[in-house]
Chains A and B, each alone.
Chain A
């Protein structure tokens, strides 16, 4: 009698066999650390995003190069026509274009959430006994780092081009801080969109069609008082215009506390409404 055994081609890089005894010991420890705090779990997700930047550094390229292109392009293209000189226009434009290009990169957050949610890994996150918002907050924390980096690069480029902030270092830091607070809050719109749409392309096209009018119909590039009368009240009161007023005021040292306050109220509103919608969509997924 012959015992037939199927011969299988062995994998070239076949892993070592499972060490059953070792495994048994690991299972038997029965260790159950206390669940992490909300902040600790969000921080772990932020660490994950930073690791992804380390492994896929290309993704940082877009976010850092795009703002510089925007700054150079608008300064030299429109400077002469709008302000009669690039130097003067840069002084007006830099805070606004910084807001515009960094707010535009917030849509990456929605796209990452969408890509994640369609992969198996989010099933694992969703079965963990952790704060439900932690994965999203983790993303946003890592994004704060990207935005700060983009802000610093734009500011550096602006300095080289001749930009001089009247508000000094404190004004600039406060201005960038206000921008980051707004971006953190505003991104919840995209995390929600990322959870309820089918593909990242949909996220991209929907968010673009919201952001383009929203950022152009603003005081980023031109003073709204040059616009037709009926348009002025609309443009002056969008959250982007309020934010630009606040950041510009802080950079210029002529801060207008109303626009700063309005921006903070808008931010609170975005977190409350879209944070709620995001968590609800996440739980129902």
Chain B
């Protein structure tokens, strides 16, 4: 990939806090115009990495360029292209939602009337008009997130950092944030998203770096990552308990894996092999069951969890 197509090229980023190696040699290549996921558990070094890339922390070693601008020697140019929605709301709690956006619009260079207009438009687009005059400290978690993201797109950035934008949100707010992220990327902004959830990275990102204890331990498309893990599963609940033995045979043959019988007398689970795509195998199996005349009450696909991804990745390193 040529330098020109990269939003971020980071090489050997290191940041230590006393004896904690928060980030321990991270390389990243983030293509422009996509969502890039940085996936890792609590304490993996995601926030520290993002803060270095957003010019908030000076790396102890290594360097990065953002759209070709050097992080260390040309921080001002980097700042003019990026914006950051931090893990903890980057808003002034004492001010109202509207005041926050007007203040920031002014700091981006809008004159007062234009700043008011921009703030009003953003509040409306984010469904926050009714709460515009309330102090941010009275906002719910979901509303804060939205206001925070609104603040990050006052001037459409070329690169947006979103640090765990959905952690702690209820499913509805989370879906709204996902929709916002998709819209932002569709309009041409590159997004670097950190998350603890494989599902979230899978839904949004076109490439994912998995990081643990300050190091990138895997990188690739969501499909590549999951197939390297292959711990997805298919769970079926039957209409008739007496069809279970038959169903077990059909599943075992269709998937070429062992099929376990659950404690529930009408349920059975197949754990997929590495390399098998959960969604693809799911529809295949459903067809086979229908053809065999087996009635199904409930059918669910389990994605490998982040835990499973980790176990498998760390296993592979140990071997």
> Which A residues contact B (CB, under 8 angstroms)?
1-2, 4, 6, 8-11, 13-20, 22-24, 26-36, 40-41, 44, 47-48, 51-52, 55-56, 119-121, 123-130, 134, 284-285
Check if B140 sits within 8 Å of A11, measured CB to CB. yes
| Inter-chain contacts of A32 with B (CB < 8 A) | 155
Chain B residues 133-166 with CB under 8 Å of chain A are 135, 140, 142-143, 146, 151, 153, 155-156
> What is the bound-complex CA distance between A17 and B86, given in angstroms?
22
The answer on a CB contact under 8 Å between B94 and A16 is no
Query: What is the total of A-B residue contacts with beta carbons within 8 Å?
Result: 160
A276 to B172, CA, bound (A): 48
* Alpha-carbon distance between A86 and B298 when the two chains are bound, in angstroms: 91
B interface, over-half SS: mixed
Pick the residue among B56, B76, B114, B130 that contacts A129 (CB under 8 A). Answer: B76
Asked if B303 is an interface residue, CB under 8 A from chain A, the answer is no
Q: Which residue of A lies closest to B295 (CB)?
A: A1
Residue B22, interface by CB 8 Å: no
**Which one of B11-19, B29-37, B118-126 contacts A?**
B118-126
Q: B94 is contacted by which of A31, A55, A123 (Cβ under 8 Å)?
A: A55
Indicate if the CB atoms of B79 and A127 lie closer than 8 Å.
yes
Interchain Cβ contacts under 8 Å between A and B, 7 examples:
A9-B170, A18-B180, A22-B124, A44-B107, A121-B92, A127-B79, A128-B108
Residue of A nearest to B182 (CB): A20
B298 touches A55 (CB 8 A): no
A-chain residues with CB within 8 Å of residue B140 when the two chains form the complex: 11, 13-15
A124-B180 CB under 8 A given contacts A30-B156, A32-B155, A55-B95: no
Encoded as 1 (CB less than 8 Å from any A CB) or 0, chain B from 292 to 313 comes to: 0000111100000000000000
Closest chain-B Cβ to A272's Cβ sits at a distance in Å of 23
Tell me whether A55 and B106 are in contact (CB under 8 A): no
Contact of A17 among B108, B127, B156 (CB under 8 A): B127
Contact partner of A20 among B94, B108, B183, CB < 8 A? B183
Q: How long is the Cα–Cα vector from A32 to B171 in the complex, in angstroms?
A: 34
CA A16 – CA B123 in complex, angstroms?
10
Contact between B183 and A15, CB atoms less than 8 A apart: no
Contact flag A123-B56 (CB < 8 Å), given A18-B179, A20-B179, A41-B107: yes
- In order of increasing CB-CB distance, the 7 nearest A-B pairs are A16-B127, A33-B109, A124-B90, A120-B90, A27-B187, A22-B125, A129-B80
* B296→A29 contact, CB < 8 A: no
- The complex places the Cα of A47 from the Cα of B107 at a distance, in Å, of 11
Asked if B156 and A124 sit within 8 Å, CB to CB, the answer is no
Cα-based distance from A41 to B79 in the complex (angstroms): 16
Contact of A27 among B99, B124, B126, B156 (CB under 8 A): B156
